[in-house]
Structure 1
Amino acid sequence: MSRIPAGFVRAVLRGHSSLGLAFAALIYLVCLSGSIAVFAHEFRRWESAAAPQVADVTPDAVQTAFEGAIAWGGPGVEHVYITLPSADFPRLLLYVDAAEDRQYVADAKGQIVEGSAFAWTEFITRLHINLHLPQTWGGFLVGLIGVALLSSLISGILAHPRIFRDAFHLRLGGSKRLQEADLHNRLGVWALPFHIIISLTGAFLGLTTIIVGVLGMAMFNGDVNKVYALFIPAPPVDDPRPAPVLDLRPMFAKLPQDGGRIEYVFTEHPTETGGAALFNVKHPDRLAGTDSYAFRRDATIYNEKQAATNNLGEDILASAGTLHFGWFGGGIVKIVYFALGLGLTYLAASGVNIWLARRRDKGHPAPGWERAWAATVWGQPAGIAAAALAALVAGTIVPTIATWLIVSLAFLLAAIRLSAEKLSAVGSVTTGALILLAAATHLALRGGIAAADGMAWIVNAALVAGGLFLILWARRRSVVAAKPAPVAVAA
């Protein structure tokens, strides 16, 4: 087998470095937020710790909650989205799209018990999906980041011909740059299938709008609605005349009893004559897709789609989100995704560290960039932890985003005066302290002490463990850094 030419390797390595540096901060942020967003269902349970747990509900209870949410939602109700209880989220949740959007939780009898705020879960998921930018542009940017990440993975493999041969070779205890480079390369190889799945599905999901637009121009003279109609049932004929609240019970009765679980009910114009409802039914033996049944007001089905009849392309499309977030296989899979996601986050951070260390070793240090990168690497965890605290106190998304931006900016400003080492230490302690404060605030303000849902206790325990780890880790690093270097003694 012929060796790869050295010139080719050098060229690919330069491209790998340039691509990584160009997108480093965004790749790091998307990977970090995505690792946390794996636990979106658990965080929603944590935020609604005081809400009643509901294992199952009857159609009568759903109808009662549906009517109650519309009454509480006020005038101008356009849609009501109902999330039925599941093992991941044992709540009956209703989202009302009206003049003022609101969310409500109901008990097993369908009685509305409280309005619910999921500001933290919304913050972390939207940060990952569209960086809190306008939906189309933010999703497009995240899709490009996925492409950049995938390209970095491929170029990294091509730039290191021995990377698979040296998969378990680590130079520990010597040069910090070589040690970090080895760990960077080993993590890139050990979890390569995961990294490819994440970057590929992320690019696909983020660029969906562009893909749909291209298909619309190629197949339907630019009409993208016809592309969406291939996958989403078209709404019934609009009829805005007032009518009683849509009755979902006869629709429940017409659903097949084949072992599927109703996940969501989407209702459109529920107080108009043209009202309709779409039921999504998930089967436990299928990773990809859900059955969908669209009903008119009179409970006649006008569109039906069985996931079992999907072709390969439809299965790939339907499974992309599930594969990307690790929302299959239960808690063990989520923990594995979280750990691998943090590994991918480390790859993004260490790649820049290696480049900066190489410049320093060659006599061309860039202390300003070192400080800026340290502020980015630690400003984001601190900002996200501060956002969790703000979400628990304020309960709305705007203060949550503002807090994240303020803390992120504060770290960048601190980089003007503080060294990279000091920023790392301050960032680790600050992040740990904010995480501990968030857990304490949840216990005090969100019913954490009296939580009936054991998941709230698990999340708080994980937060306390993570916060203490970051503080103790920073302390240990400061102790090690303070030790004087050994002095050679002449014989």
Structure 2
Amino acid sequence: MEPTFRASMNWLHTWAGVVLGGLLFAIFWMGTLSVFDREIDRWMMPATRLALPDAPIPLDAFRPYLETATVAKARAWAVVPATEREPVIRVTWQDTSLLLDPSTGAVLPDPGTWAATRFIYPFHYMLQIRIGRLGAWIVAFATMAMLALCVSGVIIHRKIFADFFTFRARNRPRRALLDLHNVTGVLALPFHVAITLSGLIIFYSIYFSVVFQIAYGDNWRTRFREETSGIVRQPRSGQPGAVGSLGAMAEEAKRLWGGAAAHLVIVWHPGDAAGYVQMRRSNDDVVSFPPGEIFFDSATGKLLTHRAPLPVASAQHFIAGLHLIHFRHWTLRWLYFALGLSGCVLIATGYLFWLERRRKRHAELGLAGVPIVEGLAIGSVSGIVIATLSFFAVNRLLPSDTTFAGYDRAALEIWTFYLVWLAAFGHAWWRPRRAWMEQCWPMAAFAVTAVLLNWLTTGDHLLHSLAHRHLWAVAGMDLLLLASAAAATLTAIRLRIRC
């Protein structure tokens, strides 16, 4: 019975990896980059490369924008104060979104890009498929498959701890690939399980919506009250009302939070008598996300509620915060980045081992399995890396006011990403045996080009960025791009020798 069970787990591990490996690699790759999404934004949006002032601009200084939202009868008006990772002030209402200088309050030019927070990060959890919730469901299916791969991988490796200490780099390619696959799998196994499971838990309300429908029907207010024991939801009254001092409310919230500042301020129903103000605590020093919220009456500033979420919601917030890592911990952030890359290596080596193990037999039998999977693997692995680097390079190449065929620069950047990715798949199926090596060269070229274009278009070369603390994120991005170019070049040289 045991050999049969292990054989079934081996079958599941193999084919789940082959069929869904490309999708999983895209999710892991974009998730790994999302660890530094705000820093990538700084690199892609030069106008936001600003130093934080000693004292923040008072919230009440943004009242003119609030009055504009009131006249427009906006459902909500929001301001996000500047932080170390995002040193700009964001003011939004309806379809308007402004970036403000944290020192002067002046409106910054439109960045003209979706950058990381609007493209890379959403791609990670919804593949940028905006047809209903289809993208989120596809990612959920892949996430469940990843959990199955983790469990089945443990079952089929009887010598799992020995595998952790075994890496025979000088052996045959197949043996070295299997060892690298095992090492990365065992080394980061707790991370892979935790990050995969927490990704499912974050969107529990989507994946298990039928449960809430059965329990609450259309009475969503009861659900919110029982889940959170503190969130305020009230409709517009239709009667005029004022908005009191946001600064005074923020000071009261800061006192109740023990000195922590507000990271997000939302005025619901501005100009309405039933308006209220929602303030979300900064989560620099806490794991949970959201870390805590306070509600005030917008006209009087009276505290409406300040209660901790109920246990189930608290647990979900902690797990979500552990996955999203919005809290301030640079060592852990780099560890997440490294372990995310290990997941990418795990998936890539799994593909390569499958190919090396079956290449000769499939050729002898005239089967097309290896060429198909090889093209899928190359396009999924090196292809998306090239597409991402082209996304960075074209961001620094195109002027901010560029338009073409009715598309603005942000859309052109995204089209570049997808067209380059599609071309990588075509090249992989056209020259499967040499595509691994040949795709390393454009990878290196795009990475170096992005660094050079950043220097030429902004003047922020690497030495200049390293010399100014507020530009360290830009320097980090340049360094990672150069490291990617070096790794791609060395890989191409090694593969050319083998070819």
2:126 paired with 1:125: no
Distance in 2 of aligned mates of 1:459 and 1:157: 36
1:409 alignment counterpart: 422
SS of the residue corresponding to residue 234 of structure 1 reads coil
Distance 1:166 1:414, change over 3 A: closer
1:434 alignment counterpart: 446
The 5 A counterparts of 1:391-406 are 391-392=395-396, 393=398, 397-406=410-419
SS of the residue corresponding to residue 35 of structure 1 reads helix
Decide which of 232, 235, 240 is 1:234's aligned counterpart.
232
2:207 paired with 1:210: yes
Given residue 248 of structure 1, which amino acid in structure 2 is its aligned partner? L
Contact between 2:52 and 2:84, CA under 8 Å: does it hold in 1? no
SS of the residue corresponding to residue 171 of structure 1 reads coil
2:403 alignment counterpart: none
Distance 1:460 1:5, change over 3 A: closer
Distance in 2 of aligned mates of 1:429 and 1:226: 57
Deviation at 1:465, TM superposition (A): 2.0
The 5 A counterparts of 1:182-331 are 182-211=179-208, 213-221=209-217, 223-224=219-220, 226-229=222-225, 230-231=227-228, 233-240=231-238, 247-257=245-255, 258-282=258-282, 285-289=285-289, 290-301=291-302, 303-306=304-307, 309-331=308-330
Q: Return the TM-score normalized by structure 2.
A: 0.85
Given residue 295 of structure 1, which amino acid in structure 2 is its aligned partner? F
Distance in 1 of aligned mates of 2:311 and 2:97: 38
1:465 alignment counterpart: 482
2:58 alignment counterpart: 61
Contact between 2:284 and 2:328, CA under 8 Å: does it hold in 1? no
Distance 1:283 1:402, change over 3 A: closer
Deviation at 1:20, TM superposition (A): 1.4
Distance in 2 of aligned mates of 1:227 and 1:127: 29
Deviation at 1:46, TM superposition (A): 2.6
Distance 1:285 1:105, change over 3 A: closer
Deviation at 1:456, TM superposition (A): 4.2
Distance in 2 of aligned mates of 1:83 and 1:176: 51
Deviation at 1:224, TM superposition (A): 4.7
Deviation at 1:448, TM superposition (A): 3.5
1:143 alignment counterpart: 140
Deviation at 1:149, TM superposition (A): 0.6
Distance in 2 of aligned mates of 1:237 and 1:222: 16
Contact between 1:205 and 1:321, CA under 8 Å: does it hold in 2? yes
Distance in 2 of aligned mates of 1:222 and 1:69: 32
- Taking only aligned residues, the RMSD between alpha carbons, in angstroms, comes to 3.0
SS of the residue corresponding to residue 280 of structure 1 reads strand
2:382 paired with 1:378: yes
Gaps of 5+ in 1: 483-491
The answer to which of 101-110 and 244-253 deviates more is 244-253
Deviation at 1:69, TM superposition (A): 7.5
Deviation at 1:255, TM superposition (A): 2.1
Deviation at 1:409, TM superposition (A): 0.9
Distance 1:380 1:238, change over 3 A: same
Contact between 1:81 and 1:264, CA under 8 Å: does it hold in 2? yes
Distance in 1 of aligned mates of 2:220 and 2:15: 36
2:42 alignment counterpart: 45
Deviations 1:18-62 (A, max 9, x none): 22122111101000111111001212333344343225655x632
Distance 1:161 1:413, change over 3 A: same
The answer to which of 430-439 and 377-386 deviates more is 430-439
Deviation at 1:460, TM superposition (A): 4.1
Deviations 1:293-327 (A, max 9, x none): 12232144464244xx4454333211223322333
Given residue 479 of structure 2, which amino acid in structure 1 is its aligned partner? A
Deviation at 1:243, TM superposition (A): 6.1
Contact between 1:433 and 1:467, CA under 8 Å: does it hold in 2? no
SS of the residue corresponding to residue 319 of structure 1 reads helix
The answer to which of 49-58 and 127-136 deviates more is 49-58
Q: Return the TM-score normalized by structure 1.
A: 0.86
2:404 alignment counterpart: none
Deviation at 1:12, TM superposition (A): 0.9
SS of the residue corresponding to residue 355 of structure 1 reads helix
Deviation at 1:441, TM superposition (A): 2.9
2:436 paired with 1:424: yes
Distance 1:425 1:126, change over 3 A: same
Contact between 1:61 and 1:110, CA under 8 Å: does it hold in 2? no
SS of the residue corresponding to residue 251 of structure 1 reads helix
Distance in 2 of aligned mates of 1:72 and 1:156: 54
Distance 1:81 1:376, change over 3 A: same
Contact between 2:52 and 2:82, CA under 8 Å: does it hold in 1? yes
Distance in 2 of aligned mates of 1:358 and 1:210: 37
Distance in 2 of aligned mates of 1:237 and 1:329: 36
Deviation at 1:184, TM superposition (A): 0.5
* Identical aligned residues as a percent: 19
The 5 A counterparts of 1:343-382 are 343-364=342-363, 366-382=370-386
2:402 paired with 1:389: no
Distance in 2 of aligned mates of 1:165 and 1:456: 39
Decide which of 79, 99, 103 is 2:98's aligned counterpart.
103
Given residue 51 of structure 2, which amino acid in structure 1 is its aligned partner? Q
Q: How many residues align?
A: 472
1:489 alignment counterpart: none
Contact between 2:169 and 2:176, CA under 8 Å: does it hold in 1? yes
Deviation at 1:459, TM superposition (A): 3.0
Deviation at 1:123, TM superposition (A): 1.1
Contact between 1:375 and 1:424, CA under 8 Å: does it hold in 2? no
Contact between 1:267 and 1:277, CA under 8 Å: does it hold in 2? yes
SS of the residue corresponding to residue 236 of structure 1 reads coil
1:485 alignment counterpart: none
